[in-house]
Structure 1
Amino acid sequence: MHLPVALPWIARDLGAGYGGLGIAVALFYTAYSIGLVINGVLGTWAPPWLLMAVGGVGSASLSIALSSVDDPVLFTVLWGVNGYLQSFAWPSLVKTASYILRGRGAEKGYAYLSTSWSLGHALVWLLSMWLVSSAGWRTCFVINGAILAAAASSIPPLLRGLEVGAVDGRGAAPRVREAALLALYTALVSAMHSASYGARHLLITYLPSYLEEARGSMAPSLLLPLAGSVGMVLLAPLFTRVGRERGPWVSAGLLLAAALLLWLFPQAYAVNAFAGLLLLAVLSAVIYGNEAQLTTSIPVAASGTRLSSLVAGVVDASGSLG
């Protein structure tokens, strides 16, 4: 998450424009997508804590190594490898949560769980803004890498004792049991997530630079993950109320609303900063709140716990491809 904040400095330091670094971002998401499917399969039998720890420590080590890179091509390749390493976490995290969050009201639990990455996103951006302006982007990569290494190292002692295998592998009685219907359901959810995730990461990647160039400060970009976290909590009761059968329909409606807001935001911001940021807050709440369910409760409702890491991996992979 620290790359978008450091992007203007990296572009100048390595002599690569936004277009060149855009290739690095695209390679990251491509590798991340492939890794999500691979690690989703691995998650059906490997201990979740092990996959999360391996990916976290690997990504942290690579972030630290990237701080010494001067060649834009090498930077692009290594950032792509980092995408694969980061893909270890999400499928295993969803599987772990699926054993704990079962039955009616699970949507709210998944929403609170999802705020971990949105609030973490905000904290990383806040720290990175200070680091790149005071110590440079290379120090930013080292510090963020060290923090991630410490966090990843804490996963085994925290989760190793969780006896997920003691729970019935069929999970919370999935509605869609037949393989063909599960595949169709996953494909439709994946298509929605591809559009939503693509829009969100368009904002994540370029919003700080856009605000910096438009009005001289990237600080308002923190509104994106913060308002998104609020949206996760606020929209969760809606998904609980409509039930898991109608959840995808609600998600589709929210996706259309997000598309309209995304179209309006830059036009409004060019005219009036306050109006633009207000639209950005609503847009963030809708996108993040919708994704919190698209990547957790909605796929788990179809797959059950046993295949939750695989289905969550496929859905999330479609998002990063978007």
Structure 2
Amino acid sequence: MTSLDVRETPGPPGITTGFAVLLAVACGIAVADIYYAQPLLEEIGRDLGIGPAGLGFVTTVTQVGYFLGLLLIVPLGDLLNRRILIPAGSVIAAVALVAVAVSPGPVTFFVASGVVGLATVVQQVIIAYSAVVSDPRSRGRILGIVTSGVVIGILLARTVSGLLSDAFGWRSVYVVSALLMLGVALVLGLRLPPELPDRPRVSYRRLITSVFTLTAHERVFRVRSLITLFMFAGFGALWGSMALPLSAAPWHLSTSAVGLFGLVGAAGAIGAARAGALADRGRAQWVTGITLALFAVSWLPIAWLPHSLVPLLAGIVVIDFAGQAVHVTNQHLIVGIDPNSSSRLIGSNMAYYSVGFGGGAVSATTVYSTWGWGAVCVLGAGFSVVALLVWAVDRISAARTATDEVLNGVS
């Protein structure tokens, strides 16, 4: 263990900013694995003989694997030693990525893609680990840094895959990503501090049913997960369908050019990293309300895409800034329920993310094919407003409860 990673001082444990950045990079590398295919669908289809009707399964299979991983693997972080679980998951992901790269046909490709999705949930185990070893007084700031790696990885995956594919073919994307995952396994296997002792023992059955029990019994989890669901549905509506109008008239942008828009979104996500620090100072609700409002308003400039790209760029910066700020705040409050159960809390919350993002992307592409980009923006704004309403109703309910308690105390 080095002084760079964990502060051996009296009081709560903690990790340094430098080590949090390392964990953020590892998270970004891992989560990108499930998004590389999105700009490569046509090329993969031509090479493997997958028809237009089957191309949708390329993304779907990976996302299904990811969803199952959130429910079945991430909660294991509360049961097993994360110093073993994280490198092992990274190696399995690397092997699956190699299998994708050498796939001779659709069956091998789909099976390997499902395993990629299943194994790359290791980045959520990393986030849960960072929450556990963080000083409670700076947990929000650390989570802000680490989770920014996830958002940036999602956004830059399309840029990287487009550039590599244009230069060396789509298979090269998965070879490079496999090498990166092996690097993650090696570095974190050597650098992760020892597991914290005396963790409560919980049955695996109880772990994998946490998403249901937490939703039923924990108000903070329930509210924040509903916000996650609808906010990421809006996020999925944008990033799951934006390539369609950009590659059509009047823009006719290439795969690489469309991927570069991820760089703009990444800039917005980086800017939101301080949201966690505000949450540490007790301003989580204030941050949530303002940024959810920004998230909804950002659809106005995004709607200008058919006419001008400048408002679109501004809207992308705002929506990614707001989305990351809300996401960090959500996880800060959810982990606060019980930091020792961070894996099941984060895994269960991210199950809502997976459903929201996937559902938003699918519904947006369907709406676009029928009614065009304007309807997609109405849909995305609608998801955003629902997320804001969930927060507002919860705040009103909390205020009424507090008032009733005061009145009952006086009486």
TM-score by length of 2: 0.65
In structure 2, do the counterparts of structure 1 residues 8 and 210 end up closer, same or farther at CA, with 3 Å as the change threshold?
A: farther
State, as a whole percentage, how many aligned pairs show the same letter: 20
1:195 alignment partner in structure 2: 230
Q: Distance in 1 between matches of 2:44 and 2:137?
A: 47
1:292 alignment partner in structure 2: 328
What does 1:1-322 align with in structure 2 at a 5 Å threshold?
A: 1=32, 2-16=36-50, 20-90=54-124, 92-121=125-154, 124-159=157-192, 161-165=193-197, 182-208=217-243, 210-213=245-248, 214-216=251-253, 217-243=257-283, 246=285, 250-251=287-288, 254-255=291-292, 257-262=294-299, 264-294=300-330, 296-302=331-337, 304-322=338-356
SS in 1 for 2:325: helix
Q: CA deviation at 1:206?
A: 4.3
SS in 2 for 1:58: helix
Please identify, of 50-59 and 218-227, the stretch whose mean Cα deviation from structure 2 is larger. 218-227
- Counterpart amino acid of 1:188? V
1:172 alignment partner in structure 2: none
User: Where does the alignment leave 5 or more consecutive residues of structure 1 unmatched?
Assistant: 170-177
Q: Distance in 2 between matches of 1:12 and 1:310?
A: 40
In structure 2, do the counterparts of structure 1 residues 167 and 54 end up closer, same or farther at CA, with 3 Å as the change threshold?
A: closer
Q: Distance in 2 between matches of 1:163 and 1:78?
A: 31
Please identify, of 199-208 and 221-230, the stretch whose mean Cα deviation from structure 2 is larger. 199-208
SS in 2 for 1:307: helix
SS in 1 for 2:137: coil
Q: Distance in 1 between matches of 2:61 and 2:147?
A: 25
Deviations 1:125-179 (A, max 9, x none): 44323210111101111111111122223221111x434227899xxxxxxxx97
Q: Distance in 2 between matches of 1:5 and 1:134?
A: 14
- Counterpart amino acid of 2:220? Y
Greater RCO, CA 8 A, separation 6+: 1
SS in 2 for 1:46: coil
Q: CA deviation at 1:73?
A: 4.7
TM-score by length of 1: 0.82
Alpha carbons 2:159, 2:263 under 8 Å: kept: no
Alpha carbons 2:335, 2:345 under 8 Å: kept: yes
In structure 2, do the counterparts of structure 1 residues 179 and 196 end up closer, same or farther at CA, with 3 Å as the change threshold?
A: closer
Larger-Rg structure: 2
Q: Distance in 2 between matches of 1:253 and 1:71?
A: 48
Q: Distance in 1 between matches of 2:214 and 2:165?
A: 49
User: Where does the alignment leave 5 or more consecutive residues of structure 2 unmatched?
Assistant: 1-31, 202-212, 357-411
SS in 2 for 1:268: coil
In structure 2, do the counterparts of structure 1 residues 306 and 229 end up closer, same or farther at CA, with 3 Å as the change threshold?
A: same
Alpha carbons 1:55, 1:88 under 8 Å: kept: yes
- Counterpart amino acid of 2:355? L
Query: RMSD of the TM alignment (CA)?
Result: 3.0
